[in-house]
Amino acid sequence: MGGYQAPVGGYSAPPAPAPSRALGAMSLAAALIAALVTPVVAGVLALQIGLAVSVDDLVNGSGDFVIAALSPVRVETLWAEIMFWLGTALGLFGVIGGIVAVARRRGRGMGIAAIVIALLGPGIFFLAVTLMYGIGNGIATDPLF
């Protein structure tokens, strides 16, 4: 009794705007660059390094690494290292940004994909560099060429 009666078909609060999915998208883009682009570039550089520097030159008889053997390909080595650190930074952003995107529901699916892809990135990078260096070294030491 008493008071005002609620209006029929009354007003309701407007629906909340959907959260932006930009964080998930940025995380996914960073993870894709880290897991696909940097390994390809570093693999091409590793092929060039393998063509110029033999494994026998890199490791001496006692098993020690001889860094001076890389001096003929120091530019390629520097760019391969830059690709490594760029992939590391982008991969970390992909993982951390993906976790935040999943937790805050800002591009949840893309965030999960970013986490998975970024975590696979280091394996892809080292596999690409190792294989391409071995292929380059095999081409350089093949007696048929």
Nearest of 77, 76, 89, 79 to residue 121 by alpha carbon: 89
Cβ count within 10 A of residue 111: 29
| DSSP H helix total and E strand total for the chain | 5, 0
> Is the distance from CB of 73 to CB of 103 less than 8 angstroms?
no
Q: State the pLDDT at residue 10.
A: 64
| pLDDT tens for the chain, residues 1 to 145 | 667 776 666 667 778 888 889 999 999 999 999 999 999 999 999 999 999 998 888 888 888 989 999 999 999 999 999 999 999 999 999 999 999 999 999 999 999 999 999 999 999 999 999 999 999 999 988 777 5
